[in-house]
Amino acid sequence: MKKITGIIILFIIIFSFPVSGADNETYFTKIYIDGVNADSNGLKLLIRASERHAGIHFQPYVVNVDFILMDSEKIIFSEKVRQVPVGETIGGTAEIVQPWYVSLEEGRSYTALAEIYLVENGKVDFLTSASANFTAIMDAKIADIYGDSIGASATVKGMSMVPLDAKIIFSLKQDGKILEVREVKAPYIMSNDQEKTVDVLWSQSLQPGAYVIATELRGEGTIARYDKAITVEKKQNLTTTTTPIPEAPGFQLYFALGALLVIILAIRNKK
């Protein structure tokens, strides 16, 4: 009885592990989903090929991925990514980022779905899928600030497919004190737009010295902040040396030339 029990346990142990070949191992799953994340900007998918020898080699595959964005039961966006190689990089992973190209509504819930199809020998088979839920939020960042004695400008980049509805507040500071505050409407952009720049002017030209421009991108709450230090240099007085312009010949010069001409003519007449 003990021998039979031992044989049964041995069979269970053997068949519980993958079957090893000369150069590969058999796995039930060929592609693993290591991570999936979705937000108001898009979906990021991290997939990994199965190992041939754990930590050393990965079985290369080619996959197709269908990305779908749903509002309740309605599909509002879909995109197909084809011929993605998996297993060629170190770690055997492939990262796919799919942006959304439809405007979203602030505070609304959406579902993102990625369907993965394995491509082998010209045949495409559904393999697995991954999904993620998210709530759309308005998001942007201040990419850069410029300032001088006349005014300041802010460059804004959209980070969400929710249209930006906000204002930019410029606070001019010196020695920790706020000297002036300027407010302007932020550009109406989304993450698929290029960066845009807005400008403000100070009420008067700044005196030489060190200043800080504290900038806040504000919607219903603060979305982003960006501070920048500037130095207004003292204007240099440029002194120019002028070359004196020779005076035009005066009356005396013309009188002398006329007298000389009279003398020459008188000498000729005597001859």
Q: Are residues 35 and 123 in the same domain?
A: yes
Residue 13: pLDDT above 60? no
Confidence at residue 59, expressed as pLDDT on a 0 to 100 scale: 78
132-189 pLDDT, tens digit per residue, is 999 999 999 999 999 999 999 999 999 999 999 999 999 999 999 999 999 999 999 9
Confidence at residue 112, expressed as pLDDT on a 0 to 100 scale: 97
Q: Are residues 32 and 106 in the same domain?
A: yes
- DSSP secondary structure code for residue 206 in this structure: P
Other C-beta atoms lying within 10 Å of the C-beta of residue 176 = 6
| Average pLDDT for 20-36 | 60
Q: Are residues 121 and 30 in the same domain?
A: yes
Is residue 150 domain-resident? yes
Residue 187 is part of which domain span?
140-232
Is residue 154 domain-resident? yes
Is residue 203 domain-resident? yes
Q: Are residues 154 and 125 in the same domain?
A: no
22 vs 60, higher pLDDT: 60
| Average pLDDT for 31-52 | 90
pLDDT grade, residue 51 (50/70/90)? Answer: confident
Q: What is the helix (H) or strand (E) element at residue 15, kind and residue range?
A: helix 2-15
Confidence at residue 141, expressed as pLDDT on a 0 to 100 scale: 96
pTM for the structure as a whole: 0.71
Q: Are residues 73 and 147 in the same domain?
A: no
Q: Are residues 214 and 166 in the same domain?
A: yes
pLDDT grade, residue 235 (50/70/90)? Answer: confident
Q: In this structure, what token pair is assigned to residue 6?
A: 């031992």
Residue 266: pLDDT above 80? no
Least confident segment among 10-14, 45-49, 80-84, 136-140 = 10-14
d(CA 180, CA 159): 29
Q: Are residues 44 and 130 in the same domain?
A: yes
Number of structural domains the chain divides into: 2
d(CA 26, CA 32): 14
Is residue 250 domain-resident? no
d(CA 178, CA 215): 12
Q: Are residues 123 and 158 in the same domain?
A: no
Residue 47 contacts residue 86 (beta carbons within 8 Å): yes
Is residue 240 domain-resident? no
The closest of 249, 216, 214, 254 to 230, measured between CA atoms, is 214
How many alpha carbons fall within 13 Å on the CB side of residue 80?
4
Q: Which of residues 100, 135, 170 is at a domain's end?
A: 135
Task: Please report, for the domain that includes residue 187, its CATH number.
Answer: 2.60.40.10
Q: Are residues 73 and 169 in the same domain?
A: no
Confidence at residue 120, expressed as pLDDT on a 0 to 100 scale: 85
Q: Are residues 37 and 105 in the same domain?
A: yes
Confidence at residue 23, expressed as pLDDT on a 0 to 100 scale: 41
246-260 pLDDT, tens digit per residue, is 555 554 555 565 666
Is residue 271 domain-resident? no
Q: Are residues 33 and 122 in the same domain?
A: yes
Q: Are residues 126 and 170 in the same domain?
A: no
Confidence at residue 88, expressed as pLDDT on a 0 to 100 scale: 73
177-225 pLDDT, tens digit per residue, is 999 999 999 999 999 999 999 999 999 999 999 999 999 999 989 999 9
Is residue 13 domain-resident? no
Is residue 9 domain-resident? no
